[in-house]
Structure 1
Amino acid sequence: MTEEEPDYRFTLANERTYLAYLRTSLACYAGGLSAVQFLDLGPDRLPAKVIGIVLVLAGIVTTAGAFRRWQLNLTAIRRGGALPVTKLPLMLGATIGVVGLIGLLFSLWR
């Protein structure tokens, strides 16, 4: 299948989406590291460590997934095909929601 140079607006929109995912992954890194450093949820701080690890892992998955999504979208745009479906937003939303709920529950339980 031949690839054509797409309208630059599509390329730039794809790049903006990629950068938004990178900002989100950076926020996950910062939130995870802050949770480990500053949350005081119990004597062994296990909940804070779990929250931190989950958020940092979500950041890593988001970084890798964003790059892969950007590549696949760029290829689809150049070929004039449909954009591939991704579950990255669902994974991010679910992870952040569950971590927030866990943090809230431990804060109330304490």
Structure 2
Amino acid sequence: MDGHEPDPRFTLANERTFLTWLSTSLAMSAGGIAMAAVPANIFVDWVKTLLAVVLVVLSAVTAIMAYPRWRRVQRAMRRQEPLPPPTLAPLFGYGVAGVAIIALVLILLA
């Protein structure tokens, strides 16, 4: 990479953030698998499948986008440019909130 070597603390913080996105992705994948394993009498089958698919897709998107995000942040630090805006956070936040709201409504209606 071009530019100046950033302070190692910032590089390591960027790496920790990358690893956190990966562990969050793994947790979302596990949540999707758990949702798929919910007994049929808890949720309507198609809703259960929809929630499971949304969680697993969020997991995949998060894992796929984590490394390019790490690279963009690393490049910006080396060039002493402003950090790029967080693209993962809104997607992940709204996706998880959507799943939670749908699940909550279904739990309250059951």
TM exceeding 0.5? yes
What is the CA deviation profile of residues 12-48 of structure 1, one whole-angstrom value per residue up to 9, with x for unaligned ones? 0000111111111111100001101125313xx1111
Which amino acid in 2 is paired with 1:102?
Answer: I
**How many angstroms apart in 2 are the aligned matches of 1:8 and 1:69?**
18
Name the counterpart of 2:99. Answer: 99
The 1:94–1:72 alpha-carbon spacing in structure 2 relative to 1, beyond 3 Å, is: same
Q: Which amino acid aligns with 1:22?
A: L
Is residue 2:31 matched to residue 1:64? no
Q: Distance in 1 between matches of 2:33 and 2:16?
A: 26
The TM-score with structure 2 as length reference comes to: 0.91
Q: TM-score, normalised by structure 1?
A: 0.91
Structure-1 residue corresponding to 2:83: 83
Structure-1 residue corresponding to 2:49: 49
Q: CA RMSD in A?
A: 1.5
**Counterpart residue type for residue 83 of structure 1:** L
Distance in 1, Cα, partners of 2:65 & 2:34: 23
Letter in 1 for 2:20: A
- Where do 4+ consecutive residues of structure 1 move more than 6 Å? none
Q: Which residue identity is paired with 2:73?
A: N
Q: Which amino acid aligns with 2:72?
A: L
Q: Which residue of 2 aligns with 1:23?
A: 23
Residue 87 of structure 1 and its aligned partner are, at CA, apart by: 2.4
Percent same amino acid at aligned positions?
Answer: 37
Structure 1 gap segments, 5+ residues each: none
The Cα shift of 1:68 comes to 1.1
Q: CA deviation at 1:86?
A: 2.1
Distance in 1, matches of 2:92 and 2:80, equals 28
The separation in 1 between residues aligned to 2:22 and 2:39, in whole angstroms, is 25
> Across the two proteins, how many residue pairs are aligned to each other?
108
Separation of aligned partners in 2, 1:73 and 1:106: 40
- Tell me, in whole angstroms, the C-alpha distance in 2 between the residues paired with 1:7 and 1:107: 49
Gaps of 5+ in 2: none
